[in-house]
Structure 1
Amino acid sequence: MASLSSNDSIVIVGAGIIGLNVALVLSERGYGQSIAVVAEHFPGDTSLNYTSPWAGCNFSAISGTDATALRWDRLGYDHLSRLASVRSEEAYVHWTPSIELWDEDVPRDKIQHMSEYLRDFRILPEAELPKGVKFAVSFTTLTVNAPEHIKYLHRRLQDQYGVRFVRKRLPSIQSAYASPSTKIVFNCTGIASGTLPGVEDPKCYPTRGQVVLVKAPHIQTNMMRHGADYETYVIPRPGSNGNVILGGYMQKRVSDGSTYAFEVESILARTRDLSLEIRQQEPELLGTFAGLRPSREGGARVERDEVVIDGQKCALVHNYGAGGTGFQAGYGMALESVAIVEDVLHQIQNSMPRANL
């Protein structure tokens, strides 16, 4: 089993979509062979607390309305757009027609910002709105096959960039500095940041979701309806031979990993009302899954910190708490988390063999 080594100038703790995107941003800049990703779970594994494989997932208006969230979203849309245009089949990212509807609390400033870059953006006229809907837009979104996409990132990081993956549960964030050569640790531990010694962020909490996986090749449209106390969505899963994710639930501070028949019935009823494609042909039920989104009061934390190891100050970058927006905002979060340690990266770069750059 691989372990941390003296070559690991950069250690990323956590191998969900957040940690993998940090590794990708660093690798694209030439640091791949200096990186070790340390985690208890990797792409291909399943666990209630390893959230990334359970995601729907798509680019949508569910993220925050503050300037930071808007910036991360736009960077994420650009990144996913490049993958869909150049590596669509390999990366499991596809262009997909989308409709989003709001019953109330329409985030107009956010929608205005998104209208500046979303493909084919259009506000739907009132005559086209279903009963109970106050506002709706259509655009071309990006849908992602979450479990296959993170496997793609895992392979690419290993094979193309030489990133090392170490399966290990760390007893504390300080233990990530196992080698004296480690200059930066990126904390991408999601929900675990609430309990991991050395972090123990009291603002972290789980948000439970339950989804239904169905076989429905005829469903080609991404749809989301944002209600006062619910989220309903229909998300085609790219590269899955016609599978679709139906959801869902956003249950704050609920850590129950069980699935419930009455919630399945609610999801099926709500998505049937939402999607004409479902009403035209009943989908085949394949399975039901629950997962815990890594949420945080006040939104995601992307922040530079420092720890003292053997009398030396070392850089620690926190990057966690994205909730349900990790796939759409994660690349933007990664760019920002890398930018705030530019000075330390410059030191690492100067000590690297020229062949690595």
Structure 2
Amino acid sequence: MVKKTRVNIVGAGVIGLTTGLVLQRNGYQVNIIAEHWPGDLNVNYTSPWAGAYIKPDPKLDEKWRKLEEVSYKTLWALSYMDDTSVIRIPGFDMYSKDLQINGEPWLKGIYHKFQVIPKDKLPKGVEYGISYTTVSMDVPKYLRWLLNQFTNAGGTKKKAHLNHLNDAFEPDVDIVVNCTGISARTFGGVEDDKVFSTRGQLVAVWAPHVKTAKALHEDDTLTYIIPREDGEVILGGTSDVNEYDGTPDPKTAELILNRCVKLCPELHQGKGLSSLQIIRHTVGLRPSRKDGIRLETEIRKNSAGKDVIVCHNYGHHSHGYARSWGSAMEVLDLIEAAVKNRQRNVAKL
């Protein structure tokens, strides 16, 4: 039997779990090492707090388009499977400023039923709008599904707190993948000062009659409504740069509720704001990064002087779920290119 190449992944958020699953399914023997796992609720464990749906970005930089396309198509396929919690929902995005974009052909080729809404059909104060069909996820259930798929495929896991990337350089490990998210700013051996927190506050309400995602972009404010599989609806939100406080603010929650009801009056079915059944208030720290996602490989030495391929995959800001599968596939491509390059170098010796 051919020995599989061993990979250690640091981090078990949506990026670490998805990357682990992709590598495990593609012939690697993967072990995920993390302090926090699905089911844990820690403000520095970002993934459980996300709204988690894919919202088209007409202004998206071309270098990130492949990541979103791969993720959207994969999650769309998962929406037909049981137990994933991924569902298909109609979506409407509105902007208070005219983006002066004529339909974005690349989005029309990806998103189901994508179209630019004619200006005469837009509400007062809205200058640009799009409609489409997308996917949303029940985050706790989806993270558990990813973990179960990973372990069922033969992947292993270890609950541990690492202080330094070198702690993952075990003697028989050939590849280490860094999926530390917001912790990449302080994690030993990485210490990326381009990483920062963007605090987001959400309100979860019980509104099973709401089936459509809506978003309204107004200057620096984004209001959004995300239905989930079980009848929960996520209301947001905020975007507080370099804020690390994990405690929900009551005044902010009130502002979110008022903005969301204005955007989607059917939330309270004409019974008033006080009739909303609030399930919980949450805060998450988005793992933002100047220059965007870090997706690259490098070679480092372990304690015995052996070359180890290190691949970085972090800095997804609010797009972790929307680009998770795409970035995981990019990691696979980067690793395979690095392995081939190492083999060529060895052959030259």
Tell me what 1:84 maps to. Answer: 79
Tell me what 2:307 maps to. Answer: 313
Does the residue aligned with 2:187 lie in a helix, a strand or coil? coil
Does the residue aligned with 1:53 lie in a helix, a strand or coil? helix
Pairwise CA distance, 1:276: 3.7
* Pair 1:340 & 2:334 matched: yes
How many Å separate the matches in 2 of 1:24 and 1:152? 11
Q: Is the 8 A contact 1:12 1:185 kept in 2?
A: yes
Question: Could you say if the C-alpha distance between residues 169 and 224 of structure 1 is closer, same or farther in structure 2, counting changes exceeding 3 Å?
Answer: same
* Pair 1:121 & 2:114 matched: yes
Question: Could you say if the C-alpha distance between residues 26 and 65 of structure 1 is closer, same or farther in structure 2, counting changes exceeding 3 Å?
Answer: same
Tell me what 2:67 maps to. Answer: 72
Pairwise CA distance, 1:272: 0.8
How many Å separate the matches in 2 of 1:18 and 1:324? 12
* Pair 1:144 & 2:141 matched: no
- Letter of the 1:219 partner, please give it: V
| Pairing partner for 2:49 from 48, 54, 57 | 54
Residue by residue over 1:3-22, the C-alpha shift from the partner in whole angstroms, topping out at 9 and shown as x without a partner, is xxx98810000000001111
Pairwise CA distance, 1:127: 2.3
Q: How does 1:89-128 map to 2 (within 5 A)?
A: 89-104=82-97, 106=99, 108=101, 111-128=104-121
Does the residue aligned with 1:233 lie in a helix, a strand or coil? strand
How many Å separate the matches in 2 of 1:155 and 1:277? 37
How many Å separate the matches in 1 of 2:100 and 2:321? 21
Does the residue aligned with 2:298 lie in a helix, a strand or coil? strand
Q: Is the 8 A contact 2:103 2:116 kept in 1?
A: no
How many Å separate the matches in 2 of 1:300 and 1:63? 19
* Pair 1:162 & 2:154 matched: yes
- Letter of the 2:131 partner, please give it: S
Pairwise CA distance, 1:184: 0.3
Does the residue aligned with 1:45 lie in a helix, a strand or coil? coil
Percent identity, aligned pairs only?
34
Question: Could you say if the C-alpha distance between residues 107 and 183 of structure 1 is closer, same or farther in structure 2, counting changes exceeding 3 Å?
Answer: farther
- Letter of the 1:223 partner, please give it: K
How many Å separate the matches in 2 of 1:183 and 1:284? 51
How many Å separate the matches in 1 of 2:236 and 2:321? 17
Tell me what 2:284 maps to. Answer: 291
* Pair 1:261 & 2:261 matched: no
Q: Is the 8 A contact 1:73 1:329 kept in 2?
A: yes
Aligned residues: 335
How many Å separate the matches in 2 of 1:338 and 1:63? 27
List gaps (5 residues or longer) in structure 1.
1-5, 349-357
CA RMSD of aligned residues (A): 2.1
Residue by residue over 1:140-163, the C-alpha shift from the partner in whole angstroms, topping out at 9 and shown as x without a partner, is 1101111110111111111x2111
TM-score (norm 1): 0.89
Tell me what 2:21 maps to. Answer: 24
Tell me what 1:326 maps to. Answer: 320
Question: Could you say if the C-alpha distance between residues 153 and 78 of structure 1 is closer, same or farther in structure 2, counting changes exceeding 3 Å?
Answer: same
How many Å separate the matches in 2 of 1:319 and 1:108? 31
- Letter of the 1:17 partner, please give it: V
How many Å separate the matches in 1 of 2:147 and 2:308? 27
Structure with a larger share of its residues in helix: 1
| Pairing partner for 2:236 from 242, 247, 254 | 247
How many Å separate the matches in 1 of 2:61 and 2:91? 23
Tell me what 1:45 maps to. Answer: 40
Does the residue aligned with 1:324 lie in a helix, a strand or coil? coil
How many Å separate the matches in 1 of 2:256 and 2:279? 14
